[in-house]
Amino acid sequence: MSLARLGLCPEILKALKDRDYNLATPIQKVLIPVMLQGHDIMAGAQTGTGKTAGFTLPILQELYKDIKVGEHRLKAIIVVPTRELAKQVHESVESYGKYLPLKSIVLYGGANMTSQANRLKSGVDIVIATSGRLLEHIGKKNISLESVRYLVLDEADTILDMGFVHEVMQVIEKLPKKRQNVLISATLSGSVKRLSQRILNKPKLIEVDSMGTSAQNVELLVYPVIKEKKMELLSFLIGWRNYKQVLVFVRKKQEADEVAKELNLSGLKTSVIHGDKSSGVRTRALEAFKEGKVRVLVATDIACRGLDIPNLEVVMNFDIPHVTGDFLHRIGRTGRAGKRGLAITLVSTKEEVALKDVERLMGKAIKREEIEGYTPPKLEKTQRGARKVVDRKKKTDGAFGRKKNSSTPTKKKRKTTKRDKWRS
């Protein structure tokens, strides 16, 4: 369906045309008309489905209809869990509304509070914010909420996972009772539904992409690997396959730093982003990656939620995330807007159980590939028993019955690895 058939004004359609957006995605076909009708909404939508345009375009449309020249009063608040997602949503709002006389601002921690306060006091129509920084401005009376007509909670499941729901509820308590509420979540879990019951009024349920089909444009591959050789296999795959732009996910901040350091030592120019990095450092690292100045970007799961990297073809999971649902957020960075993507996961023996949870979530088994020298040994019970017998025999008779050599052992020659081969 053409976006022009969804009742959007010519100014918005012109901005969409500038970005070569002509056809509505499945979520947009449903979400935009229902929002324009004024209903509260609970929508299940994965990243990369066009959900941001799905809720921002109707808001821009309705605010433009009632705009008074020279007057800017806060009418819409979009709450997100991370600064990266806040910046991404704000970029979309500004891009889609560039031919409209509307003003927007993004608020998140780590940015200059005074500068944000001055812009708020000069008048804005739309605020995109993380809950903590929004509460700070409300507490300092830098922002008036009396005219707010729209509230969007984007990535509601992440807001819950990160423990921000109490801050969000404090914001909601200060808003006008009469408003339109939209809750967007990748998963419609029990906790998300309970949250919806607290803030939504007779909502329309929209669920276009199921958990199993959200990654239909992404090819999934698993490489079983000996745990101690994960780092070597990671750099080998990137170099051997000559991937030009790779986003690598890890669970822990310290591990992210270590992986980035090792990749740089392997000759792969790499940057890293995680929660301990300042806003400026994270922004510069992401921009350098988008511009091709660095080949690899290493990120933690918290950082993955707001990353929008056009034409990213490869995501690599150094490990499986603690929260199984985060696997979808990770691989959702590629295969966006109908394009094809590749998601590779390195799995050690101890992670096989976690992989089964991921496969249940996806609704299918993930294809496996093995690379000689990296794959863990497959030992059946009988084989393990035989191995123990051989080991015991070695202790008494020497290896495979040969006499032990009492002379000083010669130094073993270092084995050339596959990573050395592609670097040479």
Kindly report, residue by residue over 308-324, the tens digit of the pLDDT.
787 898 999 999 998 88
Fold match, 3-207 / 218-368: yes
Q: What is the pTM of this model?
A: 0.69
Segment 272-283, tens digit of pLDDT? 998 888 878 888
Question: What distance lies between CA 370 and its chain's CA centroid?
Answer: 27
Identify whether the C-beta of residue 186 lies closer than 8 Å to the C-beta of residue 222.
no
| Rounded-to-integer distance, Cα 18 and Cα 282, Å | 28
On the question of pLDDT at 106 being above 60, the answer is yes
Q: Which residue has the tokens 């444009």?
A: 217
Q: What H or E segment, with its residue span, contains residue 190?
A: helix 190-199
CATH code linked to domain 3-207? 3.40.50.300
On the question of pLDDT at 217 being above 50, the answer is yes
The share of the chain scoring above pLDDT 90, in percent, equals 61
Identify whether the C-beta of residue 27 lies closer than 8 Å to the C-beta of residue 54.
yes
Task: For Cα atoms 299, 300, 303, give the angle at the middle one, nearest 5 degrees.
Answer: 80
What contacts 197, CB < 8 A, 6 or more positions away?
Answer: none
On the question of pLDDT at 350 being above 80, the answer is yes
218-368 CATH pick, 3.40.190.10, 3.40.50.300, 3.30.2420.10, 2.70.50.60: 3.40.50.300
Specify the pairing of strand 218-224 against strand 41-44.
unpaired
In this prediction, residue 59 carries a pLDDT of 97
In this prediction, residue 188 carries a pLDDT of 83
Identify whether the C-beta of residue 346 lies closer than 8 Å to the C-beta of residue 318.
yes
Sheet of strand 341-347: strand arrangement: 270-273, 296-300, 246-250, 314-317, 341-347, 218-224, 367-368
On the question of pLDDT at 424 being above 60, the answer is no
pLDDT top residue among 408 and 343:
343
Domain definitions of the chain by residue range: 3-207, 218-368, 381-423
Q: What are the tokens at 358?
A: 């991921």
Angle, helices 51-65/83-96, rounded to nearest 10 degrees: 50
Could you tell me what percentage of the chain is helix, strand and coil, using 3-state DSSP and rounding each to the nearest 5? Answer: 45, 15, 40
Q: What are the tokens at 319?
A: 């490990």
In this prediction, residue 67 carries a pLDDT of 85
Query: Averaged over 74-88, what is the pLDDT?
Result: 93
pLDDT interval class at 408 (50, 70, 90)? very low
Burial zone of 211 (CB within 10 Å; 0-12 exposed, 13-18 middle, 19+ buried): middle
